[in-house]
């Protein structure tokens, strides 16, 4: 199941939260341009849209507030949107500054919630914490989720199920479907296709005869309820490897959490070695039952792809994130700043030489595991974690992409919006 | 716990560095800054010019310092069940600068 989140009049709404005096008032963003980049719902009531030239806007609504675009602020709110979505699932696609997809397939059993409940919990967290509203669509795939999120705005929540697809497609103009541009929509209307349902109802023979190309066949399949479009990568390049695992029951036991982290670390190191890289930074997290992350990031004194020195550092830092009485449901680790080992320079204190010795042990372990199956040999520190049953979706939590963890609080940049003054 | 023969203090004093951001924030994605104007809350340790960080949340309890919005701007109050206005969030920290 896929959720699509679409910020309602995103730039204008961010301007309204930045300056409370704009709340409830018609706001147009894009003072520096000839036409608006965003129009608040209050301004839309006056017939203002993004197509209306700036010089016409004052005539339509003399008291409208016209403000310049502030992309730095929009990207802070956008990063927060992605980070909040990622508390619930690693599988988030940052589609644009005001939209993202989240794949929540399988999380219903993991969280003991229905897909609708998960989608609503995500919507609530986004709206509460950002002070903005979102159109939210839940559907079996991305094309239908996009249709659903636009169905009711602002702050709508729409679910499309396989059995209700027809209700949504029968009145929908084919050109309103995601991925169908104006040229294609003209071409299709020449073939007698007016609505999304007209297109969805065609069989594969019709698609062959009219030489419908692959991207439109994918749209056709998704309009019929199949899930064929893959989740996209993050905007950033692949620069890190992440391993995480959810376990049951949730626990506060530090020794157990460390063994889970140890296992995450071994698996991540194994993968990073297969890519012939070494990480320069490590971040790890404990995920609470409330889906918030307690995390920590540190720089390795010597970049290494060997688990045991990393685990000793995690052991030292665990106390800084572990809180008494909090129940944790998952742990995870990200190996960041991946570089080829040749790029790593020598250090002053001989740490590098010591870690090379360790590397020869590691390559022996890799050979054994390669020959006799993974986890034939593992670190004693991971023992408790290996003893536990894996939860069903542990595999799916493996991710190979960057930026999948929320920025740790120890990150370099802390962008907290400043909202002005408070009178006391 | 003993380190090099000296009794160590509380757990969080063991770290030799502290991230100010992490110290001041609880849920970063929900946190916002406001600058205090006026002196009616000096008895509560809130002075003009202080920066406060509040978190947009509906999770507050009696006695928590909360932020709400009036037509004339943001206001602070201590939450009690009699409070009837719409609450934006709860204050999680404040900080003050003496020199810069």
Nearest to B32 among A292, A319, A417 (CB): A417
User: What percent of chain B clears pLDDT 90, i.e. is strictly above it?
Assistant: 74
Provide the phi-psi class of A337: left if phi over 0, else alpha when psi is between -120 and 50, else beta. Answer: left
The pLDDT of residue A408? 37
- Tell me the pLDDT of chain A averaged across its residues: 85
Comparing A77-86, A133-142, A235-244, A313-322, the range with the smallest average pLDDT is A235-244
A232 band by pLDDT with thresholds 50, 70 and 90: confident
Mean per-residue pLDDT, A235-259: 83
Respond yes or no: is residue A99 known to be catalytic. Answer: yes
A129 and B32 in contact by Cβ < 8 A? no
Which value, to the nearest 10 degrees, does the dihedral of the CA atoms of residues A134, A139, A144, A148 take? -30
Catalytic residue from among A99, A218, A222, A260: A99
pLDDT score of A332 more than 80: yes
d(CA A224, CA A222): 5
Residue of A nearest to B40 (CA): A424
The pLDDT of residue A338? 83
The pLDDT of residue A352? 52
- According to CATH, where is 3.30.70.270 located in chain A? 1-160
The pLDDT of residue A357? 61
More confident residue, A55 or A124: A124
The pLDDT of residue A363? 73
d(CA A145, CA A128): 22
Mean per-residue pLDDT, B86-97: 95
Comparing A363-372, A382-391, A415-424, the range with the smallest average pLDDT is A382-391
Mean per-residue pLDDT, B87-95: 96
Which value, to the nearest 10 degrees, does the dihedral of the CA atoms of residues A57, A62, A63, A66 take? 30
B38 and A128 in contact by Cβ < 8 A? no
d(CA A105, CA A88): 11
The pLDDT of residue B18? 79
Q: A164-232 has which CATH code?
A: 1.10.150
pLDDT score of B1 more than 50: no
A80 band by pLDDT with thresholds 50, 70 and 90: very high
Which residues make beta-bridge pairs with B55?
A: B31, B90
User: What percent of chain A clears pLDDT 90, i.e. is strictly above it?
Assistant: 57
The pLDDT of residue A364? 72
The 10s digit of each residue's pLDDT in A113-141 is 999 999 999 999 999 999 999 999 999 99
Mean per-residue pLDDT, B55-59: 95
Residue labelled with tokens 């993968």: A271
Restricting to A residues 278-307, those with a Cβ less than 8 Å away from any Cβ of B are 292
Chain A to chain B Cβ contacts (< 8 Å): 96
Comparing A119-128, A183-192, A273-282, A344-353, the range with the smallest average pLDDT is A344-353
B19 and A409 in contact by Cβ < 8 A? yes
CATH architecture of the region A1-160 = 2-Layer Sandwich (3.30)
Asked if A150 and A135 touch (Cβ cutoff 8 Å), the reply is: yes
A83 and B41 in contact by Cβ < 8 A? no
Cα angle, residue B38 at apex, residues B57 and B68 outer, rounded to 5°: 20
Angstrom distances, CA of residue A152 to CA of A6, A135, A136, A158, A257: 11, 7, 9, 7, 43
The pLDDT of residue A358? 66
The 10s digit of each residue's pLDDT in A291-330 is 888 888 888 877 888 999 899 989 988 988 899 999 999 9
d(CA B64, CA B70): 19
The pLDDT of residue A85? 96
Asked if B50 and B94 touch (Cβ cutoff 8 Å), the reply is: yes
More confident residue, A391 or B27: B27
B29 and A131 in contact by Cβ < 8 A? no
* Joined tokens for residue A22: 């704009």
- What is the least distance, in Å, from the CA of A321 to any CA of chain B? 10
The pLDDT of residue A170? 96
- According to CATH, where is 1.10.150 located in chain A? 164-232
Nearest to A129 among B19, B25, B29 (CB): B29
B96 vs A: CB within 8 A: no
Nearest to B15 among A83, A320, A423 (CB): A320
Mean per-residue pLDDT, A85-111: 92
Using CB atoms within 10 Å of the CB of residue A177, give its burial: 0 to 12 exposed, 13 to 18 middle, 19+ buried: buried
Closest CA to A287 of A315, A241, A243, A245: A245
B34 and A131 in contact by Cβ < 8 A? no
Residue of A nearest to B41 (CA): A424
The pLDDT of residue A366? 73
Asked if A101 and A138 touch (Cβ cutoff 8 Å), the reply is: no
Asked if A6 and A150 touch (Cβ cutoff 8 Å), the reply is: yes
d(CA B39, CA A22): 27
B33 vs A: CB within 8 A: yes
A20 and B69 in contact by Cβ < 8 A? yes
A130 and B33 in contact by Cβ < 8 A? no
Phi, psi (deg, nearest 5) at residue B48:
-55, 135
Q: Most distant CA pair in chain A: distance in Å?
A: 76
d(CA A327, CA A264): 19
Q: Please enumerate, as own/partner, the contacts of A351-355 that have beta carbons within 8 Å and a separation of 24 or more.
A: A351/A301, A351/A302, A352/A302, A355/A302, A355/A304, A355/A306, A355/A309
A421 and B14 in contact by Cβ < 8 A? no
B59 vs A: CB within 8 A: no
State how beta strands A134-139 and A2-7 pair.
antiparallel
The pLDDT of residue A69? 85
The pLDDT of residue A355? 60
B40 vs A: CB within 8 A: yes
- According to CATH, where is 3.30.1490.100 located in chain A? 235-421
The pLDDT of residue A403? 30
Cα angle, residue A146 at apex, residues A224 and A123 outer, rounded to 5°: 125
Asked if A147 and A199 touch (Cβ cutoff 8 Å), the reply is: no
ipTM of the complex: 0.85
The pLDDT of residue B93? 96
A235-421 folds as Dna Ligase; domain 1 (3.30.1490)
> Helix or strand or coil: residue A81?
helix
The pLDDT of residue A388? 52
Closest CA to A287 of A316, A260, A313, A262: A260
Mean per-residue pLDDT, A174-188: 92
Asked if A387 and A69 touch (Cβ cutoff 8 Å), the reply is: no
Q: A128 contacts in B (CB within 8 Å)?
A: 30, 56-58
d(CA A120, CA A126): 10
Mean per-residue pLDDT, B46-50: 96
pLDDT score of A197 more than 90: yes
Restricting to A residues 404-423, those with a Cβ less than 8 Å away from any Cβ of B are 406-407, 409-411, 414, 416-423
d(CA A262, CA A254): 12
């Amino acid at each position: 199941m896929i959720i699509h989140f679409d910020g309602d009049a995103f730039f204008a709404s961010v301007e309204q939260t930045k300056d409370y005096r704009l709340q409830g008032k018609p706001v147009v963003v894009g003072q520096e341009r000839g036409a608006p980049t965003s129009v608040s719902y209050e301004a839309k009531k006056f017939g203002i849209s993004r197509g209306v030239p700036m010089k016409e806007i004052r005539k339509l609504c003399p008291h409208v507030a016209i403000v310049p675009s502030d992309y730095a602020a929009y990207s802070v709110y956008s990063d927060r949107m992605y980070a909040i979505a990622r508390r619930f699932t690693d599988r988030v696609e940052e589609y644009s500054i005001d939209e993202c997809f989240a794949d929540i397939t399988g999380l219903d059993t993991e969280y003991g919630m229905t897909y609708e409940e998960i989608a609503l919990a995500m919507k609530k967290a986004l709206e509460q914490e950002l002070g903005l509203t979102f159109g939210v669509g839940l559907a079996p795939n991305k094309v239908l989720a996009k249709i659903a999120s636009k169905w009711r705005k602002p702050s709508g929540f729409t679910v499309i199920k396989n059995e209700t697809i027809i209700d949504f497609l029968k009145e929908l103009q084919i050109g309103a479907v995601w991925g169908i541009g104006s040229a294609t929509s003209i071409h299709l209307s020449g073939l007698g296709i007016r609505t999304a349902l007209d297109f969805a109802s065609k069989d594969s023979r019709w698609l062959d005869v009219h030489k419908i190309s692959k991207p439109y066949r994918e749209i056709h399949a998704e309009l019929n309820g199949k899930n064929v479009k893959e989740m996209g990568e993050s905007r950033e390049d692949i620069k890190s490897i992440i391993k995480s695992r959810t376990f049951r029951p949730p626990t506060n036991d530090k020794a157990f959490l460390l063994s889970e982290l140890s296992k995450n670390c071994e698996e991540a190191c194994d993968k990073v070695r297969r890519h012939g890289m070494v990480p320069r930074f490590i971040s790890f997290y404990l995920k609470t039952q409330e889906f918030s992350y307690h995390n920590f990031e540190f720089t390795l004194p010597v970049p290494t792809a060997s688990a045991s020195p990393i685990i000793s550092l995690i052991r030292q830092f665990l106390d800084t994130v572990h809180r008494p009485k909090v129940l944790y449901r998952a742990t995870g680790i990200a190996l960041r700043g991946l570089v080829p080992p040749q790029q790593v320079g020598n250090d002053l204190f001989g740490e590098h030489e010591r870690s090379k010795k360790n590397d020869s042990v590691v390559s022996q372990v890799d050979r054994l595991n390669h020959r006799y199956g993974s986890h034939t040999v593992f670190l004693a520190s991971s023992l408790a974690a290996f003893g536990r049953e894996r939860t069903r979706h542990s595999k799916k939590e493996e991710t190979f992409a960057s930026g999948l963890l929320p920025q740790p609080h120890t990150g370099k940049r802390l962008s907290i919006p400043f909202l002005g003054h408070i009178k006391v | 716990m003993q380190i090099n023969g000296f009794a160590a203090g509380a757990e969080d004093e063991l770290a030799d560095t502290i991230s100010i951001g992490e110290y001041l924030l609880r849920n970063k994605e929900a946190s916002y800054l406001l600058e205090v104007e006026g002196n009616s809350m000096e008895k509560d340790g809130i002075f003009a010019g202080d920066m406060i960080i509040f978190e947009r949340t509906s999770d507050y309890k009696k006695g928590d310092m909360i932020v709400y919005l009036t037509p004339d701007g943001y206001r602070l109050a201590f939450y009690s069940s009699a409070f009837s206005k719409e609450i934006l969030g709860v204050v999680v920290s404040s900080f003050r600068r003496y020199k810069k």
